[in-house]
Amino acid sequence: MVEKMPRSTERILTTHAGSLPRPDALVRMMWDWLDKKPVDMTKLEKLVESAVFDSVKKQLEVGVDIVGDGEMSKVGFSNYVIQRYEGFGELAPDLIADDLAEVPSVGDPIFVTSEYGKHIVRPVVDAPIKLRNPDAIKSDIATLKAALNGRSPDLAFLTAVTPGQMLFNFPNRYYPSDEAYLEAVGEALRFEYLAIVDAGLNLQLDSPDLAMRGHFYYPGGGPEKMDKYIPMVIEALNHATRGIPADKMRLHLCWGNYPGPHHHDIELSEIINPILKVSAAFISFEAANPRHAHEWEVWAETKIPDGKALVPGVIDTLTNHVEHPRLVAQRLERFANIVGKENVIASTDCGFGTFVGWAGCDPKVVWLKLHSMVEGARIASEKLW
């Protein structure tokens, strides 16, 4: 049995960034939970289990190598913590995005008037962050491993939020400093990190804040000074994941998985070097959408530490266009020429269901896109090997 996330030793492997479309019945029940309506938790658990089994089956049928549970049990990639931890108070004010502020006709339908937008819950932290439901991650692990049906857990992953993303999403109203907040939430989240890796699964650390804090902020504030922010949150993440093998972790960063103009996104070249100090061996990032597809050049110009592998997004998650496999192959070949073919794994820019009820493209198109990614990886492999 392999004891780490595999590398592309014989062909370009494939994966995705985490979330996948949830069934409508599951979405509605999760919205009811968020609305504090009565929910049959036994029924909810069965819906989650069924959704995970169906999702894993579809991933394997399409040909995805390193599969996930689709984040079926979570109300969102980051705000799932309100399901599992305590320490949260009243709702935080709405975030401001520099790009969307210039075009509210684009931003409002995404985050304000849509039903899923109304269910993106971000409370402040006004008490100690403590684990409330240790069984949640245990259930996620057991369900995914059962869905693998004997397949090695090294060929699967579960996602978890990072301390930095917590600081970004859930404003501090309790701890004396950002550093104290990061240390406390890191210790709380460490329970999930260790549980995932101890089960033999790979750990994906979701940290969009590493890029988003350059253009997203709360009222009364402004974009962070990223030259100070990123080293602080990377140090906190490395501490929270201490002792976990680097080859069992992948860091995911993005500029926000929403269909906005993104013309205020910070350049990758401005943030890449401090991010590369993360302990995780694998770096997952956006490389397919129109705003960031050109930044393969940045990776070519950067000294990438030995042992690091790249998990570039070669499929955009925000349109119904299905990328041609040849385009996917071209993208993968570029990265293979930069870091070596064994150090490239094909992925998606971000998740396909970042928050419950949210989807950047039609659920049926998701599987067409993943199939195209697998085909593109096959084409690239035939050329590279």
Nearby residues of 160 by Cβ (< 8 Å), 6 or more positions away: 189, 192, 193, 196, 203, 204, 205, 206
- Helix H or strand E segment including 195: helix 178-198
Identify the CATH number of the domain in which residue 87 sits: 3.20.20.210
Determine phi and psi for 66, rounding to 5 degrees: -110, 105
Side-chain half-sphere of 154: how many Cα atoms within 13 Å?
Answer: 11
With b meaning 16 or more CB within 10 Å and e meaning fewer, what string describes 57-75?
ebbbebebbbbbbbbbbbb
Give a yes or no: residue 177 inside a domain.
yes
Q: Tell me: the pLDDT tens digits for 316-333? A: 999 999 999 999 999 999
Give a yes or no: residue 200 inside a domain.
yes
- 21 forms beta bridges with none
Measured at the CA of 227, the angle between CA 334 and CA 206, to 5 degrees, comes to 60
Give a yes or no: residue 37 inside a domain.
yes
Give a yes or no: residue 97 inside a domain.
yes
Domain that holds residue 42: 13-384
Give a yes or no: residue 286 inside a domain.
yes
Average pLDDT of adjacent 10-residue blocks, the chain of 385 residues: 82 98 96 95 97 98 98 96 96 93 88 84 96 96 97 97 97 97 98 98 98 94 93 98 98 95 97 98 98 98 97 97 98 98 98 92 97 98 97
What pLDDT is recorded for position 118? 86
Give a yes or no: residue 4 inside a domain.
no
Which residue's structure tokens are 């689709």?
70
Check the CA dihedral 120-208-148-195 and report its sign.
negative
Give a yes or no: residue 287 inside a domain.
yes
What pLDDT is recorded for position 3? 75
Rounded Cα gap, residues 197 and 31, in angstroms = 30
Give the chain's length. 385
Rounded Cα gap, residues 103 and 121, in angstroms = 23
For residue 107, CA distances in Å to 68, 208, 323 come to 30, 18, 25
Domain count within the chain:
1
What pLDDT is recorded for position 116? 82
What pLDDT is recorded for position 381? 98
Give a yes or no: residue 7 inside a domain.
no
